[in-house]
Amino acid sequence: MIRPICRHVSRQLASKRPSIPLPSLTNSLRTYSAGAAPSSLAPQPFKWEDPLALQTLLTEEELSIQETAESYCQERLLPRVLDAYRDENYDRAILTEMGSLGLLGSTITGHGCAGVSQVASGLITRAVERVDSGYRSGMSVQSSLVMGAISEHGTEEQKERFLSKMAKGESVGCFGLTEPNHGSDPGSMETVAVKQEGGGYKLSGSKTWITNSPISDVCLVWAKLDGVIRGFLVERERCPPGTLETPPIKHKTGLRASLTGMIHLDNAPVPEENMFPDVTGLRGPFSCLNSARYGIAWGVIGALEDCIARAREYSLDRKQFKGNPLAKYQLIQKKLADASTDAAYGLLAAYQLGKLKDEGKLAPEMISMVKRQNCDRALEGARKLQEVFGGNAVSDEYHVGRHVANLFVTQTYEGQSDIHALILGRAITGVQAFV
C-alpha cells in the first residue's frame, strides 16, 4: 500500500519505507539524496535523472513525500492515461485516491489537510505531471484554486464545511473565472450576482475552459455584485434544474485526460453564507492563480523529465545504419543535453520559489518568471525530443506526442507566455505595455 503523506509529515515514517516496489526512477532519485549518504564528501557521480542534484536539497520528509507521490503516479495513473487521453475521459476515482494519500490541498494546515512544505507540494505536482498534465490540472484546480481560495479567503465556517470533504476527494471543486470573450482579461467580467430580498444571491453568466466543471460538486464562481468582483461557492445540490449547467467541452487538442467544461448560470441560488466575506476585486482570484502557477512551474518539468527519460531510452534501443544506436548521433545528444539542462535549471528555480513562498517572501512576478520559463522550456524541450522518435512519434504509445500537446496548453493557460513577458517587462521597466 502506498503510504499517505500525512504519515510522513507526522514523522512516524522514520525507518519504515513503503513496501511496494518503487519505480526505478524513484529509486534512482533516492540514492542521490543527502539523507542517504550524509557523511560522504566524494564527488557525486553525474546522474542524468537529476543533473544538478536537486535531491541534495530536500528534507527527509520531502524525500518521503516524493516517493509516495511518484509511486502512486507511476503505478496507478500511468496505466490509465493512454485510454483516458484517447477517449477524453477522466476517472473521477482519481481524486478520491489522491485524497486518501493526502495529495489534495496538501499545503493547507488543518481541516484534514497534510500541511506539507511548498517544496513538497511542488514535488507532488511534478510527480503527477510526469504522467500527464491533465491529471495535474485536475488536482491543481481542486487544491490550489478551490481549496486554496477557501483556505485563504473563506470564513471559518466555510473552511469547516468544505475543506475536509475536498481534501478526501469526496467533494470536487472547480474555479469559474474565465469568460468566453475575455481570456487574459478577467477585469471585463460579465457574470453578475444579484442580492435577493430574502437573503442570498442569484448568479447569472457563463464561464468557459473550466477544468473539472462537469463533475464538480461546488463551483467557486467569481461574479460582480453591484459592480464589484466577489467569490461565491455555488453548490450543485442546492441548484434547481436549469440554473446550473456544466456541459463538457470535447474534441480538445490537448489535456484530453482532464475534464474541461463550461459553467452556465441562470439565476443560480447561492446562500448568504457562501460568499467570501472580505476579498473583493481581482485580488481574490489572482492570489489563487499564483498558487496554481507555482504548481505548474514544478509540474511541467515533470512532463519534460518524462520526455527525456523516454527519448533517452528510445535512442539507446533504436539501432540504425551500422547497428549504432540513435544515441550515438551528435544531433540526438544535443537534444538530450539541451532538454536536461532546461529541466535541471527549471527545478532549481521552482525550488527557490517554494522556499521563498514558505518564508512569505515570494513576489508574484517571480512566479510569472518561473511559470513562463518552465512552460516555454518544457514545451520546447518536449518538441525537440519528439524528433528523436522520427516517424514513430506519430504513435501515441510513445507518450511524447501527448506531452507536447499538453505542454502547449500549459504554456497558454494561467497566463499565456507573452502575457507573463509583459508582466515581467512592466516589473523591470516600470512601464506598462499592454495594449
Residues 57-96 that bind its own copies (CB under 8 A): 57, 86
Cell digits of residue 214: 462537469
Q: Are 143 and 212 in contact (CB under 8 A)?
A: no
Q: Which residues pair with 192 in a beta bridge?
A: 204, 224
> What is the crossing angle of helices 133-140 and 78-87, to 10°?
90
Q: Which x/- pattern over 170-199 shows residues binding its own copies (rule: CB under 8 A)?
A: --------x--xxxxx-xx-----------
- Judged by CB under 8 A, the chain residues 206 through 235 that form the site for its own copies are 209
Q: How far is the CB of 390 from its own copies (least distance, A)?
A: 5
Rule CB under 8 A: is residue 361 a binding residue for its own copies? yes
Does 273 participate in catalysis according to the annotation?
A: no
Among 248, 249, 266, 267, binds its own copies (CB under 8 A): 249
- Containing 229, the helix (H) or strand (E) segment is strand 228-235
- Torsion sign, CA atoms 282, 354, 343, 300: negative
Rule CB under 8 A: is residue 136 a binding residue for its own copies? no
Q: State the Cα–Cα distance between residues 81 and 87, nearest whole angstrom.
A: 10
At position 203, the amino acid (one-letter code) is L
Cell digits of residue 9: 509529515
Phi, psi of 175 (to 5 degrees): -125, 105
In this chain, which stretch among 40-48, 116-124, 232-240, 291-299 interacts with its own copies, using CB under 8 A? 40-48
- Judged by CB under 8 A, the chain residues 373 through 392 that form the site for its own copies are 373, 383, 386-387, 389-392
Rule CB under 8 A: is residue 267 a binding residue for its own copies? no
- In the chain, the N- to C-terminal Cα span, in Å, equals 54
Rule CB under 8 A: is residue 352 a binding residue for its own copies? yes
In this chain, which stretch among 13-21, 149-157, 229-237, 332-340 interacts with its own copies, using CB under 8 A? 332-340
Nearer to its own copies, 19 or 429 (CB): 429
Among 53, 194, 215, 225, binds its own copies (CB under 8 A): 53
For β-strands 201-211 and 324-325, DSSP reports them as: unpaired
Phi, psi of 256 (to 5 degrees): -75, -15
Q: How far is the CB of 381 from its own copies (least distance, A)?
A: 13
Rule CB under 8 A: is residue 282 a binding residue for its own copies? no
Q: How far is the CB of 200 from its own copies (least distance, A)?
A: 32
Q: State the Cα–Cα distance between residues 350 and 372, nearest whole angstrom.
A: 11
Among 95, 315, 381, 385, binds its own copies (CB under 8 A): 315
Active-site positions read: 414
